[in-house]
Structure 1
Amino acid sequence: MFKRAISNRIIAGLLALMFTISMFVPFKPCDAASDIKVLLDGVSLSFDVPPIIENGRTLVPFRKICEALGAEVEWDEETRTVAAFKDNKTILLKVGEDTAYINQTPTKLDTAPIIKNDRTLIPLRFLSEAFGAAVNWDNGLRTVKISTLPEEKPSKYIMGYYYSQSYEDFLKNVDKMSAVAAKWYTLDENGSLINKDTLRYINVPEGYDSVIKTAKENGVEIQMLVFENNATRLNKALSTPESRTALIDQISKMATDEGFDGVNIDFEAVTASGKDQFNEFIKSLYAKLKAQGKSLSLSLPVKTESVDWRPGYDYTTLGKYADFVVLMAYDKSPSVPGPQSGIDWVEEVVNYATARIPAEKIVLGIGCYGYDWVNGKRSSVIAKNNGTTYLEFADDLSEKYNLTMSIDQTSGLLNGKYTDENGQIHEVWMESDYSIDAKAKMVLQKGLKGIAIWRLGYTTPSFWDTLADNFKPVKMN
């Protein structure tokens, strides 16, 4: 019998009652469901006996799910009864019986526990909800999602990158963000700060002061983003102490004059030979901005333990001299059709970073877009037609070419193909609500600071809803 330190008479009474409720329960055939996934707070659970479906309900091995939920378990061979104990709650289920007991209170089950391959399988939803977890079934992915996160959502830093045609998206969702990083500045051929580069669509937009004002009225930080991806221009700016000092002075003056709360540096062409100069630049800029009461953040190209694409970026040093860093965890290999930000690869990226930078300083960059490849060329694509003038839209492609998208099980991204009017076959990969949810949960599980969105102008209501299911934005005081 059970050895739990609770009343033996109560348990004995419950067992006797369970015996008398039904002397015979007809056995209904179960559907094999080896492809069903069970996620607990975003982490996949593995079972020695696969989940099955009976009467439309998912059954799983009781010991594994109980222990995953933090409950103690016991099995009574004589009565074929399982018991789970957590906090002040006791749950009893008997094989073949469709009545369970929660602290002596009988509860009707949609389907009874069964024995399969020497394992007792119990209804997943009943047990999870009995211990206070939320359970959802994703039919498209054949996935059960269990959440034990508290109802009071945790607060995380949510930053949106502001680029061209971002204003409407910004206005709609400013209340859902912690910060905005405005990509309005870059370098000229001499390595000096400028606020207009027509060829790269970088400029301070008309009415920019209203963006800064609206952000601050809504408790949203606004970061001055300085972008450069030209190695020659970066070398001009970083190669000598004098050039570094000149650029630092220009940036700090602009940040002060325009009322930015901080600066985000997005230098994407630092070479291995320029690593030390970049480190020195960041150290000095950090000191200058801190003296002015402003923050410094960095948008960093990503790496994994197996592949260091960008040896010019010294994560350990850069993490030390920044208030936070954004991992640009997208565009893995955009020249080749395939997943560019799969959750499997993103976890490798995050693991590399957290081994060198404190997790609480790391912001996970998420790209709200995908690519449409044909004949070695690619176009950017987003989920819904929002009037942006230089993108493709998956909903339009679906209507025009019968594009059908499905979830890739490994990456979590949407994937599909279609044939255009010229007989050319296109391949499309893009983010999904499923992958966004998995990445948000990764932020929670690994204790990261938050997420950054590339970019405003690309988002959808379901994207924001998915974030809100996981956490709320930190706001300025």
Structure 2
Amino acid sequence: MRRPALAVLAAAILASGGMQAGTAAAAGSAPSATILLDGYPLAFPAQPIIQNGTTMVPFRAIAEALQIPVEWNAAGKTVTAVKTTDEGQRKVVLRQGSKQATVDGAAAQLGAAPVQKNGTVLVPLSFFSSAFGAQVSWNGATRTVSIVSPPEKLYTKAYYAIKSYSQVKQLGRFDAVAFGWGRIGEDGRLTLKGKDFYWPQADGDVTPESIVAGAGAAGGLTEFMVFSGDAKGELTKMLGNSSLRAETVKGIVDAASQGGFKSIDLDFEGLGMTGDKAAAAQSFNVFVKELRAASKAAGLGLSLSLHPLNGSYKGYDYKTLAQLSDEIAIMAYDYEQGGKPEPLAKVDEAIRLALKETDRSKLLLGINFNSETALSLSGPAGLAKRYGLKGIALWRLGPGLVDADSLTALERTVKLRGPAEG
């Protein structure tokens, strides 16, 4: 008979630590271990220990990282955790010093009784995994415990721009789709023409309007996305000219309304790398405030896709912009060149900085499929889940990028709104 995975894990921790099992168990401690949740380190208030051959880990740290609220009852010495999903609730009650637990009111037996160490309740890792569906593995060479969170429903936006038509059948899988069909031209004016972000031509019965209508009929929010860089000063020119701003605001709202969209997404990049960064941020605030007023009057929402606060561009006032918009997608990518997966430490920092400026319910984590692989997607998606963000934003739909194959990989971590399409 095969030994249970967690029994193997416990034995491996003991064997790899340079200590005899009896000594470790008697001392109630184990060699230092690294705990990874979805591929990224998880901070612990107390190290895992080995107790009579059972791996014990801090319960609250893991539970809260999985967005499971935890309550401690000092009088009864019980810890209660309730996980809410789209399938219902799961309630777990553990008692310090007792191997008897309850899961949804039914009795369950623990491999070891929960203990308290320096004010932290430690529970068997195996029970935690079985109760909440997390997967656990152990690397004896590096003494690393890896926890993979179970797939969960997460609000997901996809960007449709630059040769995305091949993935049109996937649009019903997302909660929102931002169509990148407008940009600010070199003259500082809105244009629906150009090389990349342009209003596409109709192909028989397939028109831009019919694509938008189809995405909306599938239940997703449809957004008219406008892009601008500032390589030739076009964005700075528009923001600094009140007449151009008014013209641009009207043009964006008219295009969104006439195209059948329900919202607007601004992807204005390049502000604040040089020059007066505070002035750049203020000029963008003014424009967004003006656009918000006009879009609201037209019954349209407003979303923003912004450079991260730990990036090179400092012209973005997250606190004010969050108050003026429905949501912000943190473009936490392009930290490195060469199409490698983004460094999760930088992504983590970008999220934490944004959370200092606004509430998590306003934030989406941008994930660039030019950088990530099928194996690396769980990292940034896992961080979005860990921090309880509103959701994720995927750049961009296209073959070899956000397509049926990559979405299959993503669904190991995230449950999408709609079913897979061929």
Amino acid at match of 1:433: S
Contact 1:325 1:361 in 2 (8 A): yes
- What is the rounded CA distance, in whole Å, between the counterparts of 2:30 and 2:302 in structure 1? 54
Judged with a 3 Å threshold, the aligned counterparts in structure 2 of structure 1 residues 134 and 339 are, in CA distance, closer, same or farther, namely closer
Counterpart CA distance in 1 for 2:248 and 2:121 is 67
- Amino acid aligned to 2:156: I
Given the superposition, is the C-alpha separation of residues 187 and 127 from structure 1 closer, same or farther in structure 2, using an over 3 Å criterion?
Answer: closer
| Cα distance in 2 for residues equivalent to 1:53 and 1:70 | 24
The CA deviation string for residues 226-280 of structure 1, in whole angstroms up to 9 with x for no partner, is 1111342213322211111111121121112111111111111234344433222
Q: Aligned AA for 2:390?
A: K
- Are residues 321 and 462 of structure 1, via their aligned partners in 2, closer, same or farther at CA, if it must alter by over 3 Å? same
**2:268 pairs with 1:267:** yes
Would you say 1:293 and 2:292 are equivalent positions? no
RMSD, aligned CA = 4.4
Q: Which has the higher contact order (CA 8 A, sep 6+)?
A: 2
Q: What is the rounded CA distance, in whole Å, between the counterparts of 1:235 and 1:38 in structure 2?
A: 43
Partner of 2:185: 188
Task: Report the equivalent of 1:433.
Answer: 378
Q: Secondary structure in 2 aligned to 1:356?
A: coil
Give the AA of the match of 1:463.
L
SS at match of 2:303: strand
Distance 1:135 1:369 in 2: 28
Q: CA contact under 8 A between 1:125 and 1:135: conserved in structure 2?
A: no
Q: How far apart, CA to CA, are the structure 2 residues paired with 1:277 and 1:314? A: 10
Contact 1:329 1:346 in 2 (8 A): yes
**Residues 162 and 278 of structure 1, relative CA distance in 2, 3 Å threshold:** same
Does 2:397 match 1:452? no
Aligned residue for 1:409?
Answer: none
Distance 1:66 1:439 in 2: 15
AA partner of residue 189 (structure 1): E
Deviation readout 1:95-130 (Å, 9 max, x if unpaired):
xxxxx4447x99666x66799x9999863323675x
Q: Deviations over 1:131-170 (max 9, x none)?
A: x5444214466324578xxx9x66x532111122323444
TM-score (norm 1): 0.61
The one-letter code sitting in structure 2 at the alignment partner of 1:214 is: G
1:164 matched residue in structure 2: 162
> 1:326: how far off?
1.6
Per the alignment, residue 340 of structure 1 pairs with: 342
Q: How does 1:124-135 map to 2 (within 5 A)?
A: 124-126=125-127, 132-135=131-134
Which residues of 2 match residues 74-473 of structure 1 at below 5 A?
84=78, 86=80, 91=95, 100-102=99-101, 123-126=124-127, 132-139=131-138, 142-144=145-147, 156-172=154-170, 174-198=171-195, 200=196, 202-204=198-200, 206=202, 207=206, 208-230=208-230, 231-271=232-272, 272=277, 273-304=279-310, 309-332=312-335, 334-335=336-337, 340-342=342-344, 344-370=345-371, 383=373, 431-442=376-387, 444=388, 448-457=389-398, 458-459=401-402, 460=406, 461-468=408-415
Distance in 2 (alpha carbons) for counterparts of 1:59 and 1:219: 44
Tell whether the 8 Å contact from 2:161 to 2:397 is kept in structure 1 after alignment: yes
Q: Secondary structure, in 3 states, of the residue corresponding to 1:196?
A: coil
> How much does 1:369 deviate?
3.5
Q: 1:85 to 1:122 in 2, by over 3 A?
A: closer
Q: Which has the larger radius of gyration?
A: 1
CA distance in 2, matches of 1:66, 1:327: 25
Cα separation, 1, equivalents of 2:223 and 2:348: 27
Instruction: Give the partner amino acid of 2:158.
Output: G
User: Contact 1:223–1:264 (CA<8 Å) still a contact in 2?
Assistant: yes
Return the TM-score normalized by structure 2: 0.68
Evaluate the alpha carbon distance shift between residue 51 and residue 144 of structure 1 in structure 2; reply closer, same or farther with a 3 A threshold.
Answer: farther
Moved more, 119-128 or 60-69: 60-69
Amino acid at match of 1:197: G
Structure 1 position 315, deviation (Å): 2.4
Residue 355 of structure 1 deviates from its aligned partner by: 2.6
- Which residue identity is paired with 2:193? K
Shift of 1:220: 0.8
Tell whether the 8 Å contact from 1:36 to 1:144 is kept in structure 2 after alignment: no
* Residues 280-332 of structure 1, C-alpha deviations (whole Å, 9 max, x = no match): 2221111111110011211111114xxx7333222233222222222111112
Q: Which residue of 1 aligns with 2:16?
A: none
**Unpaired runs of 5+ in structure 2?**
1-20, 81-90
Q: Whole-Å Cα distance in 2 between the matches of residues 435 and 356 of structure 1? A: 20
Unmatched segments (≥5 aa) in structure 1:
1-25, 76-82, 95-99, 371-381, 385-413, 415-430
1:422 aligns with none
Letter in 2 for 1:204: P
Conserved? CA contact 1:316–1:356, under 8 Å: yes
The alpha-carbon distance between structure 1 residues 170 and 285, as it changes in their structure 2 partners (threshold 3 A), is same
SS at match of 2:252: helix
